[in-house]
């Protein structure tokens, strides 16, 4: 944590704890994300990366700790106020989570229609603009999510996340399930969108190539705690045993996978 | 002695579990209804639910009502002939259809068709993160998904029951006049003279309550489903079974309220 930026962090998490029954998932997470930077959180399956994002988004209620956004603790705000703060966060879900009862353009424009009360024809135009930003033509707007390939679904989901120009973007495993080329395409789109919007980004992944492409900084979560944080460029050579085992995919090391034999 | 205590503990757990579930469902319904009086109101979602419950259930409800009326006329003609009371067939058909069979059978059909579909749709949305995605797009899922469906059920089923009442009586009339040789004019006069406002109103009140129960069960079990495809399947089963049982239980209670004097 010695590299922590001096400016007021966009997101500041302190002592965040979350357990499901006896299973402790987050055990005192401390993490700072500086404004207009991209933070990549890496870690094995089931280490609490998605739970961390869901706590920040208000989809799960933490047991303890604080989550400050722009210096204000959202866990201690009035509900309406916290919702207004969180409304400025865009989210790309792991499986896209597109609404399959709506055509693509309505998926993309959903946040605009919900938040800004724009007319439908105006929202349609805006959706087509955003689809173009992720490399999709206007004709895609009339398709249904089930008609799209995995890569196209991710692009539409990205378009939905950026459509209302949020100042913070969260990405949950953005390249999972994609081939390496499409993964790189999505990563580049993410970097491009984050830069164009001037947003702060937090991505969780266990794809090392993706982590290096997206992130300015990186943090590793293990056993419910942040065990390392540093520049994303140092991921493969961090000098931390836990990070090295994970990034190099070694079987032997301090991380013991729980396998039943 | 210990086996007896185990048995008592098991019964106690089941009873407390049932109370807890009832409380959860009650609060869920209350929250869903409370969103109907708080803006924004999702008119398109309501219209979709209303059409799905009302318009698209018409064929199955119509067929059920016609055949029920036909069977009722046949059965009552043979049964009443034992008491030389064949002239009461028209009275029996109209009172059975309007008070009981119209609302109960229509509700059971809608529970099988719409309740199951709602549970499956919402369950799939839950397990594919679509409900979480709604929250991240500044849309309250209870307001967007549940409230319009509850209102749709509440308003659409009485209209369906009006159709079921008419077609049920028509089915009885056709069998009585064509097959059993009753005078058509006398049959219709008997029907109109015998039926009272209370008979129809009680049926419509039942329909509104049943409509609410069917959509409540569909929404509750779908919204709270867990564990992938199997969880969605279980939610669908629970939605149909619990709605069917509740329809019959509330049928008794409303009948008691209207007619036990």
* ipTM for this prediction: 0.85
Model confidence over A1-15: pLDDT tens digits? 445 546 789 999 999
State how far the Cα of A238 lies from the Cα of B108, in Å rounded to an integer: 63
Indicate yes or no: CB of A91 within 8 angstroms of CB of B133: yes
pLDDT, block means (10 residues), chain B with 261 residues:
89 94 95 90 92 94 96 91 84 94 96 95 94 91 95 96 96 93 91 91 95 97 91 95 96 89 64
State how far the Cα of A39 lies from the Cα of A32, in Å rounded to an integer: 9
pLDDT at A258: 59
Cis peptide leading into residue A97 (ω within 30°): no
Q: Which of A86, A93, A119 to mutate to test the interface with B (most CBs of B within 10 A)?
A: A93
Identify the band that residue A116 occupies on the pLDDT scale cut at 50, 70 and 90: low
Q: Which of A117, A145, A165 is the last residue of a domain?
A: A165
Hey, which residues does A202 pair with through a beta bridge? Answer: A39, A170
Q: Looking at residue A76, which CATH number applies to its domain?
A: 3.40.50.300
Min Cα separation A141/chain B (Å) = 19
The parent domain of residue B217 ranges over 2-259
* HSE-up of residue A240 (Cα within 13 Å, Cβ side): 19
Name residues whose C-beta falls within 8 Å of residue A250's C-beta, 6 or more positions apart in sequence.
A244
Number of domains, chain B: 1
CA distances from B69 to A249, B61, B85, B98, B244 (A): 71, 12, 18, 11, 21
A202 in Cβ contact with A171 (< 8 Å) = yes
pTM of the prediction? 0.87
Contacts of A83 in chain B (CB under 8 A): 138
pLDDT at A99: 95
Rounded to an integer, the average pLDDT of A30-45 is 91
B253 in Cβ contact with B187 (< 8 Å) = no
Min Cα separation B207/chain A (Å) = 28
Min Cα separation B237/chain A (Å) = 22
Q: Within a domain: residue A184?
A: no
Q: Measuring CA to CA, which residue among B41, B220, B222, B43 is closest to residue B139?
A: B41
The parent domain of residue A24 ranges over 1-85+196-261
- Confidence check: pLDDT of A77 > 90: no
**Nearest residue in chain B measured CA to CA from A89:** B136
Contacts of A98 in chain B (CB under 8 A): 130, 133
DSSP-assigned letter for residue A94: T
The CA-based diameter of chain A, rounded to the nearest angstrom, is 59
**Nearest residue in chain A measured CA to CA from B121:** A101
Which residue in the set B128, B134, B137 is minimally distant from A95, CB to CB? B128
State how far the Cα of B151 lies from the Cα of B153, in Å rounded to an integer: 5
CA distances from B24 to A117, B20, B29, B232 (A): 33, 6, 9, 19
Model confidence over A151-207: pLDDT tens digits? 889 889 999 998 888 889 999 988 887 888 888 888 888 888 888 888 899 999 888
Indicate yes or no: CB of A86 within 8 angstroms of CB of B136: yes
Within this chain, do residues A45 and A118 fall inside the same structural domain, yes or no?
A: no
Number of domains, chain A: 2
A142 in Cβ contact with A103 (< 8 Å) = yes
Indicate yes or no: CB of A100 within 8 angstroms of CB of B130: yes
């Amino acid at each position: 944590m010695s590299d922590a930026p001096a400016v007021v962090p966009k997101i500041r998490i302190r002592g965040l704890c979350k357990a499901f029954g006896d299973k402790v998932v987050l055990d005192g997470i401390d993490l700072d994300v500086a404004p207009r930077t991209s933070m990549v959180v890496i870690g094995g399956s089931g280490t609490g990366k998605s739970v961390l994002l869901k706590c920040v988004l208000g989809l799960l209620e933490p047991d303890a700790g604080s989550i400050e956004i722009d210096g204000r603790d959202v866990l201690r705000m009035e509900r309406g106020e916290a919702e207004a703060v969180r409304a400025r966060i865009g989210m790309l879900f792991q499986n896209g989570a597109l609404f399959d009862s709506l055509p693509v353009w309505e998926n993309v424009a959903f946040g605009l229609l919900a938040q800004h009360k724009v007319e439908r024809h105006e929202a349609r135009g805006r959706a087509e603009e955003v689809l173009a930003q992720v490399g999709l033509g206007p004709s895609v707007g009339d398709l249904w999510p089930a008609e799209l390939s995995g890569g196209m679904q991710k692009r539409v989901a990205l378009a939905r996340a950026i459509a209302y120009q949020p100042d913070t973007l969260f990405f949950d495993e953005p390249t999972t399930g994609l081939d390496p080329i499409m993964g790189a395409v999505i990563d580049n789109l993410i970097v491009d969108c984050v830069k164009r919007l001037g947003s702060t980004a937090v991505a969780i992944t266990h794809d090392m190539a993706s982590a290096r492409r997206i992130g300015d900084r990186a943090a590793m979560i293990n056993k419910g705690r942040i065990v390392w944080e540093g520049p994303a460029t140092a991921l493969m050579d961090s000098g931390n045993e836990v990070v090295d085992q994970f990034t190099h995919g070694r079987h032997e090391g301090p991380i013991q996978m729980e396998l039943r034999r | 002695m210990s086996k007896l205590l185990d048995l008592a503990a098991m019964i106690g757990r089941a009873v407390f579990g049932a109370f807890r579930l009832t409380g959860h469902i009650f609060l869920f319904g209350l929250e869903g209804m409370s969103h109907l009086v708080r803006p924004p109101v999702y008119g398109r979602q309501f219209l979709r639910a209303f059409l799905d419950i009302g318009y698209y259930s018409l064929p199955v409800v119509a067929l059920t009502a016609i055949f029920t009326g036909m069977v009722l006329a046949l059965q009552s003609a043979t049964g009443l002939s034992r008491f030389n009371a064949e002239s009461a067939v028209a009275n029996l058909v109209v009172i059975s259809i309007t008070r009981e069979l119209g609302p109960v059978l229509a509700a059971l059909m809608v529970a099988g068709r719409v309740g199951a579909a709602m549970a499956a749709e919402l369950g799939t949305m839950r397990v594919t993160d679509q409900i979480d995605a709604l929250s991240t797009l500044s849309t309250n899922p209870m307001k967007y998904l549940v409230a319009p469906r509850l209102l749709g059920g509440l308003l659409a089923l009485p209209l369906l029951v009006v159709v079921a009442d008419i077609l049920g009586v028509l089915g009885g009339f056709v069998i009585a006049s064509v097959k059993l040789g009753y005078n058509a004019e006398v049959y219709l006069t008997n029907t109109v003279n015998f039926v009272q406002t209370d008979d129809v109103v009680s049926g419509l009140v039942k329909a509104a309550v049943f409509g609410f129960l069917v959509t409540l069960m569909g929404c509750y079990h779908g919204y709270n489903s867990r564990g992938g495809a199997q969880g969605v399947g279980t939610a669908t089963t629970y939605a149909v079974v619990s709605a069917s049982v509740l329809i019959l239980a509330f049928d008794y209670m409303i009948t008691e309220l209207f007619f036990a004097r």
